[in-house]
Structure 1
Amino acid sequence: MLVFSVIKNLLFFDSCILNFFIPYILLEKFLRFKVKSQYVIILMLITCNIPFLIVSKFNIESVYQWIPTAIWIFMFSLIFCKGTYLKKIIITIAYVCFNELIQYVTIPVTYMTDYYIIIANSFYKAEQVRAIINYIFLIILQLLYLLILNFIVKNHYFDYKFKNFKYTIFFVVPNVFIVSLICEYFKLYYKNNMRNYLLGNIKMLGFAFTGLICAVFTVITLAKIAQETIIRERELLLKQQFSIQTQHYKDLQVQIKNTRTFRHDINNHLICIKNLLLQGDIKSTENYLKKITRSLEKISLRVSTGNSFADAVISEKYNISIDKGIDFKCDAKIPNKIKIDPFDLCIVLGNALDNAIEACEKITDNSIKKYIHITSTINKSFIVFEIKNR
């Protein structure tokens, strides 16, 4: 008897720990806390029994017992967690949905153990065995719950932010619908006393398990859709980057051709300048030198950071700026051995320069000279880009 009692108490303790750990992980991973973790743990330990006390005090029906839990989770996240109100509402809904599915699975199992596990001449021992089986089953489901949360964190969230609001809504709505259907069946389960029959309990268990599996598959499906969307967006950006690189290569070919032409004509230019100086025509010499200088400016590289990927992006934005009447100057230098993915570098520079060009376009006063100036500084292993515009 003592062995059964010890095992039951240990399992009860483990179940309580997991029951506390699940909302803690949920809030910490999805929202993050405003205060230190140790304070949150203490406050959770003090307040986690409030929903159960409310249920007991007001004798709330089982199908509505999720309401105090939802209020507690939302209020706790509201006071102690970061994030928007919408995120906190969605997290609360997600927690309640999966929590209810776990409850709907455990209830028929509890009734089945009560009715069908009987030990002759030992009511207390039978009660202990039933409790042990129920706790083992509950702990298995709680561990499954943690695995589901871990999967959602890895596939739907990044840096404590929702990856995509649309997919978040698609995640919440189907799960609410699934829980609502099972809740309606649960009412019938109680109303028709199906809990007193083996077949009724098996049906309830089957519906609850089906709902749980559907909820998990909803997460998996949406995760795959989200990943495919990210891949498509990345492919689109790569195509744009390839187009920019191609245009940059063509511009370089034109510059090389112009440089060769200028080098071929340099002797003729020097002869003309020499003759003008011998004739004493200083003014014509100055005008001729100005023309040569303008020619040199046209064939010189306007953007030369030392990184071909950055050169391609900045050159494209340079051409766009000049076409829009915006002066553009680039004094940025990027080391060859910089530890940054070229793809990310192009996105950062492209977005920043697009914002600068857009800001300049909003200037309606023609007396204001529009310009964009990009510089860079190296600080240990960091590179800092500064873009000034007006």
Structure 2
Amino acid sequence: MTVFSIIEKMLFVVSCILNIYIPYIVIKRFLGFRIKPQYVIITMLITGNIPFLIVKELNIESVYQWIPTTVYIFVLSLIFCKGTCLKKLIVTIIYNCFNELIQYITVTVIYISDYIVILNSPVQTQQIRDIVNYLFLITSQLIYILILNFILKNYCIDNGIKDFKYMLFFVVPNVFIVVLLSEYFNFYYKNSNVVDISLFNNLKMMGLACMALICAVLTVTILDKLIKENALRQKEALLAHQFNIQARHYKDLQIQFKNTRAFKHDINNHLICIKNLIANGDIKSTEQYIKKITESFEKLNLKVNTGNPFADAVISEKYNISIDKNIDFKCNVKMLNGIKMDPFDLCVILGNALDNAIEACEKITDESIKKYIHITSTFNKSFMVFEIKNSMQGYIHKNHMSTDKEDDINHGLGLLNIQSIADKYFGTTYIENSENMFELSIMLQVL
């Protein structure tokens, strides 16, 4: 065995490893695995050549060889990965778009390598050509990995996958570009009666493929900007809403403070009246007078006093909404000083959780079911746990939760937003559901 043969086989092995590693990191980084990664790797090592064998056995033309690969990656993601079928399909399309663009850059070098000729040595010529082809194939695979890592590190395209309209912005133009390249390739490389294959056409094909790859990366940057701008708009809207409810909350506090001072000012007069009623033996009037004073005093008590002004503002607003809708609302939330939590995140969690609870209570049509919302908090070491329990009509499985609102793109993200923030604080969410009762527990590491 010659040195050239050894080098060729080594390069072949490296190329095969990279060919498995690339789809592995794509589905891992975008989707995540439901099982241990080593099982996925073993499966890919065993089944990785299936698309190639299908292409070989069915003699599929090169412009359509992406189809078996697409099906293989999609089936792999269905079996081993997390996420919805739509998200898995989009990730598969993303992978194949970039993969096809890299392939069209690589295939031109295979034709260009035909210009390498070693005089009087056809065997060495072929070996050198094979080595050059493998070297460029490996180079293109490494470029693919670098591009992928660059995108995942610097851009939030993964967040955009959750929103279908943003992913259409990436998928549609890039699929269209790949289809055009396929037709161009088919015209120049398959229809030899029209145009002879030349070095110029190879270089032109490579240039077009490189430009298409650059366009795909630019699409990602634009998509990232749109996603971030949308997130910023949502945050600004939430902050504005939070400012408004805090302003109302502080206004209510001022009114309560004013009423408390007035009550304290009048307390001596009330006591004199009670004393005179008792002295006159008018027990019934005394009881009625004391009842009125008690009711007035209860109105002065703060309904929500968590120790955190942001939590107070949000829960107070939801308390008032619940009372207006005849929903029994009980709050036993105490916040410790010095918790390491962004007020924005706290408002998102409490707002979404209580909005969902209010919505569930509103849907109750059975008068025998009491409408209630109970929110409590506990601390366990460095973790804070919110528990929001509410009544509902019927039973809903936690794996089949959705919204029946028309704007389901926006309104269906409540629990996803809560889970996202829980992940940010190294916590989790837990849902318990029984007949006519729903309970959401949110654990956050804040100390």
Fold shared by both chains (TM-score > 0.5): yes
CA distance in 2, matches of 1:167, 1:297: 51
For 1:285, the equivalent position in structure 2 comes to: 286
Q: Aligned pair in 2 of structure 1 residues 175, 38: CA closer, same or farther (>3 Å)?
A: same
CA distance in 1, matches of 2:296, 2:269: 14
CA distance in 2, matches of 1:122, 1:330: 87
Q: Aligned pair in 2 of structure 1 residues 263, 74: CA closer, same or farther (>3 Å)?
A: same
SS across alignment from 1:60: coil
Q: Between 63-72 and 192-201, report the one with greater CA deviation.
A: 192-201
Query: 8 Å contact 1:195–1:201 — kept in the other structure?
Result: no
CA distance in 2, matches of 1:381, 1:162: 33
**Structure 1 length as normaliser, TM-score?**
0.91
Give the letter for the 1:184 counterpart: E
Q: Report the CA distance between 1:298 and its aligned residue.
A: 1.5
CA distance in 2, matches of 1:315, 1:230: 26
**Structure 2 length as normaliser, TM-score?**
0.80
Q: Report the CA distance between 1:247 and its aligned residue.
A: 0.8
Give the letter for the 1:326 counterpart: I
Residues 71-97 of structure 1, C-alpha deviations (whole Å, 9 max, x = no match): 222232333333333233222222222
Q: Report the CA distance between 1:180 and its aligned residue.
A: 0.3
The answer to whether the aligner puts 1:306 opposite 2:327 as a matched pair is: no
Residues 4-50 of structure 1, C-alpha deviations (whole Å, 9 max, x = no match): 55544443332222111001112222233343222222221121112
Query: 8 Å contact 1:51–1:68 — kept in the other structure?
Result: yes
For 1:79, the equivalent position in structure 2 comes to: 79
Q: Aligned pair in 2 of structure 1 residues 42, 328: CA closer, same or farther (>3 Å)?
A: closer
The answer to whether the aligner puts 1:53 opposite 2:62 as a matched pair is: no
Query: 8 Å contact 2:151–2:220 — kept in the other structure?
Result: yes
Q: Report the CA distance between 1:367 and its aligned residue.
A: 6.0
Higher relative contact order (CA 8 A, sep 6+): 1
Q: Report the CA distance between 1:258 and its aligned residue.
A: 0.9
For 1:163, the equivalent position in structure 2 comes to: 162
Query: 8 Å contact 2:105–2:210 — kept in the other structure?
Result: yes
Residues 261-291 of structure 1, C-alpha deviations (whole Å, 9 max, x = no match): 1122122222222222222322222222212
Residues 236-270 of structure 1, C-alpha deviations (whole Å, 9 max, x = no match): 11111111111111111111111111122122222
Q: Aligned pair in 2 of structure 1 residues 368, 71: CA closer, same or farther (>3 Å)?
A: closer
CA distance in 2, matches of 1:321, 1:120: 89
The answer to whether the aligner puts 1:180 opposite 2:183 as a matched pair is: no
Q: Aligned pair in 2 of structure 1 residues 365, 70: CA closer, same or farther (>3 Å)?
A: closer
Q: Aligned pair in 2 of structure 1 residues 83, 330: CA closer, same or farther (>3 Å)?
A: closer
Q: Between 174-183 and 274-283, report the one with greater CA deviation.
A: 274-283
Counterpart mapping for 1:360-371 below 5 A: 360-366=361-367, 369-371=370-372
**Gap regions ≥5 residues in structure 1:** none
The answer to whether the aligner puts 1:374 opposite 2:380 as a matched pair is: no
For 1:259, the equivalent position in structure 2 comes to: 260
For 1:224, the equivalent position in structure 2 comes to: 225
CA distance in 2, matches of 1:133, 1:321: 72
Q: Report the CA distance between 1:164 and its aligned residue.
A: 1.6
RMSD: 2.3
CA distance in 2, matches of 1:240, 1:221: 29
Q: Aligned pair in 2 of structure 1 residues 34, 328: CA closer, same or farther (>3 Å)?
A: closer
For 1:106, the equivalent position in structure 2 comes to: 106
Query: 8 Å contact 1:111–1:195 — kept in the other structure?
Result: no
**Gap regions ≥5 residues in structure 2:** 392-447
Q: Between 285-294 and 302-311, report the one with greater CA deviation.
A: 285-294
Q: Report the CA distance between 1:337 and its aligned residue.
A: 2.6
CA distance in 2, matches of 1:243, 1:262: 28
- Bigger share in helix: 1
Identity of aligned residues (%): 67
Residues 189-223 of structure 1, C-alpha deviations (whole Å, 9 max, x = no match): 11454573111111111111111111111111111
Give the letter for the 2:188 counterpart: Y
CA distance in 1, matches of 2:85, 2:361: 35
The answer to whether the aligner puts 1:294 opposite 2:295 as a matched pair is: yes
Q: Aligned pair in 2 of structure 1 residues 317, 212: CA closer, same or farther (>3 Å)?
A: same
Q: Between 293-302 and 353-362, report the one with greater CA deviation.
A: 353-362
For 2:440, the equivalent position in structure 1 comes to: none
Query: 8 Å contact 1:108–1:195 — kept in the other structure?
Result: no
The answer to whether the aligner puts 1:248 opposite 2:245 as a matched pair is: no
For 1:130, the equivalent position in structure 2 comes to: 129
CA distance in 1, matches of 2:196, 2:146: 29
CA distance in 1, matches of 2:362, 2:55: 61
The answer to whether the aligner puts 1:15 opposite 2:19 as a matched pair is: no
Q: Which structure has the greater CA radius of gyration?
A: 1
Residues 336-364 of structure 1, C-alpha deviations (whole Å, 9 max, x = no match): 23333221111111122112222222233
Number of residues of Structure 1 aligned to a counterpart in Structure 2: 387
For 1:388, the equivalent position in structure 2 comes to: 389
